[in-house]
């Protein structure tokens, strides 16, 4: 008769075999689990790496990319977006689109128009003014900025209204806080804008202090028409068909034709019939080669004769048809032209200073379309954000000079 142990070997696996099989299976399962865990870890690391790369390239790095430099002051993409948002704030975040060209001009505006005020300058040009201010004895303190902000946001009492100092202080703080909150501007950012305005107007006076009180004048009419008409003005052909305009000026009264285009005239200097008056030399440098004669490139231009109408002459986005009716004559410069000459003096100074800085490499502006495309996308997102039902705060007083 066979023993139980021998029957176990012949009839099936023994307990020792069972344990061995279980160990092998456990080790196999453990290996599979370790392998799966390794793959999972690698997958998580890849996902984390992609997330970090996206955060760095799309969120962290772009705002810090250099956009411009003036000496030791650097402006980055984030600064640029913050700056342009001020434009959106002035439009009430109505969804107005800010294109790449507009963004570039906020950084550096090659077509500055001083009469439009501080916002007509690019950020680089404003920094040139600030850094050069000590040379002209111009400076401002924090107290100057405080007083200016207070003047802007302190409401004027109505006639007969008795207002205490405490009431004025409370209303000033409420209006200022409401304005900052509604337009999403920090106190530091708004203070900087006020400081820039102060520097702009004071430097304009300092640089323009030497404009002449007497100058050579011409008595002039002109008709001006935009190179790129605003669609809201109607049929663009009316403004762009220069040959038709020239033919009409030859056949009809100058004043009558000019009157049809008066909506695009600068009403500060031009009457609806195109009469500009006696204008001193130096007020429109780009037009003077045709008015007074001069050299443009390799071409010698003859001055306009009395009663002669010029061919279309381009300047600052407009085409001009000019007519001289008297002069030249040396005259006293009127007050409105003195202010215009101050604008030209500041504009010329800024152009010369920028050219000096770029040639000596202490001014740099990056003309990288990726910078402006990124900024435009951030601004588009801001413009599309819903501002809820909060009404706009009462408008502050004027911030002018």
Q: Do 235 and 328 fall into the same domain?
A: yes
Q: Which helix (H) or strand (E) holds 203?
A: helix 187-207
Q: Do 70 and 34 fall into the same domain?
A: no
- What separation in angstroms does the CA of 159 have from each of 23, 94, 154? 99, 35, 15
pLDDT at 26: 66
Q: Do 243 and 171 fall into the same domain?
A: no
Domain endpoint, select from 332, 366, 394: 332
How many angstroms separate the CA atoms of 364 and 367, rounded?
Answer: 10
Check: CB of residue 289 under 8 Å from CB of residue 320: no
pLDDT at 266: 84
Q: Helix %, strand %, coil % for the chain, to 5? A: 55, 15, 30
Check: CB of residue 74 under 8 Å from CB of residue 366: no
Instruction: Residue 80: name the closest of 384, 372, 380, 382 by CA.
Output: 372
pTM for this entry: 0.73
Domain of 28 in residue numbering reads as 19-59
pLDDT at 390: 46
Check: CB of residue 357 under 8 Å from CB of residue 70: yes
Count of beta carbons in the 10 Å neighbourhood of residue 282 = 18
Q: Which residues are paired to 213 by β-bridges? A: none
Counting beta carbons within 10 angstroms of the beta carbon of residue 341, is it exposed (0 to 12), middle (13 to 18) or buried (19 or more)?
buried
pLDDT at 13: 58
Q: Report the domain count for the chain.
A: 3
Q: Do 175 and 234 fall into the same domain?
A: no
How many angstroms separate the CA atoms of 248 and 311, rounded?
Answer: 13
Q: Is residue 271 part of a domain?
A: yes
Q: Do 80 and 199 fall into the same domain?
A: yes
Per-residue pLDDT 10s for the chain (401 aa) are 555 554 444 555 566 666 666 666 666 676 666 676 776 767 666 665 555 444 434 443 444 467 788 998 888 877 777 777 766 665 555 444 455 566 667 778 888 888 878 877 888 999 999 999 999 999 999 999 999 999 999 988 778 778 788 888 999 999 999 988 887 788 988 898 899 999 999 999 999 999 999 999 999 999 999 998 888 787 888 888 999 999 999 999 999 999 998 888 888 899 999 999 999 999 999 999 999 998 888 889 999 999 999 999 998 889 999 999 999 999 999 999 999 999 999 999 999 999 999 999 999 887 766 766 666 666 666 555 544 444 445 555 555 55
Q: Which residues are paired to 301 by β-bridges? A: 294
CATH number for position 278? 3.10.50.40
Q: Do 98 and 184 fall into the same domain?
A: yes
Phi and psi for 278 in degrees, rounded to 5? -80, 110
Q: What is the pLDDT of residues 6-42, one digit of tens each?
A: 444 455 556 666 666 666 666 667 666 667 677 676 7
How many angstroms separate the CA atoms of 52 and 228, rounded?
Answer: 45
Check: CB of residue 370 under 8 Å from CB of residue 319: no
Q: Do 236 and 94 fall into the same domain?
A: no
Q: Do 28 and 80 fall into the same domain?
A: no
């Amino acid at each position: 008769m066979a023993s139980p142990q021998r029957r176990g070997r012949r009839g099936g696996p023994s307990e020792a075999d069972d344990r061995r099989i279980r160990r092998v299976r456990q080790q196999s399962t453990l290996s599979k689990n370790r392998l799966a865990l390794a793959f999972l870890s690698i997958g998580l690391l890849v996902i984390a790496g992609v997330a970090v790369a996206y955060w760095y390239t799309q969120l962290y790095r772009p705002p810090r990319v250099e956009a411009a430099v003036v000496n030791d002051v650097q402006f980055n993409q984030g600064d640029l977006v913050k700056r342009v948002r001020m434009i959106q704030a002035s439009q009430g975040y109505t969804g107005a689109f800010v294109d790449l060209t507009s963004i570039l001009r906020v950084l550096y505006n090659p077509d500055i128009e001083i009469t439009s005020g501080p916002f007509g300058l690019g950020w680089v040009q404003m920094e040139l003014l600030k850094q050069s201010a000590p040379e002209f004895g111009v400076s401002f303190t924090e107290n100057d900025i405080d007083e200016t902000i207070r003047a802007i946001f302190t409401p004027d009492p109505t006639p007969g209204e008795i207002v205490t100092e405490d009431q004025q202080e409370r209303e000033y703080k409420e209006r200022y806080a409401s304005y900052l909150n509604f337009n999403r501007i920090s106190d530091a950012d708004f203070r900087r804008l006020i400081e820039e305005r102060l520097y702009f107007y004071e430097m304009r006076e300092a640089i323009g202090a030497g404009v002449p009180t007497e100058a050579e004048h011409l008595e002039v009419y002109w008709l001006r028409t935009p190179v790129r008409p605003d669609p809201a003005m109607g049929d663009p052909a009316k403004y762009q068909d220069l040959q038709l305009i020239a033919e009409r000026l030859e056949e009809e009264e100058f004043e009558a034709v000019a009157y049809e285009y008066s909506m695009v005239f600068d009403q500060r200097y031009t009457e609806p019939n195109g009469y500009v008056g006696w204008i001193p030399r130096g007020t429109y440098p780009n037009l003077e080669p045709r008015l007074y004669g001069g050299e443009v490139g390799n071409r010698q231009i003859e001055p306009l004769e009395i009663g002669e109408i010029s061919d279309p002459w381009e300047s600052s986005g407009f085409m001009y048809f000019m007519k001289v009716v008297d002069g030249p004559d040396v005259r006293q410069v009127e007050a409105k032209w003195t202010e215009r000459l101050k604008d030209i003096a500041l504009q010329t100074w800024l152009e010369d200073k920028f050219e000096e800085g770029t040639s000596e490499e202490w001014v740099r502006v990056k003309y990288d379309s990726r910078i402006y495309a990124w900024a435009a996308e951030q601004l588009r997102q801001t413009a599309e954000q819903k501002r809820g039902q909060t009404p706009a705060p009462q408008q502050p007083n004027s911030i002018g000079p």
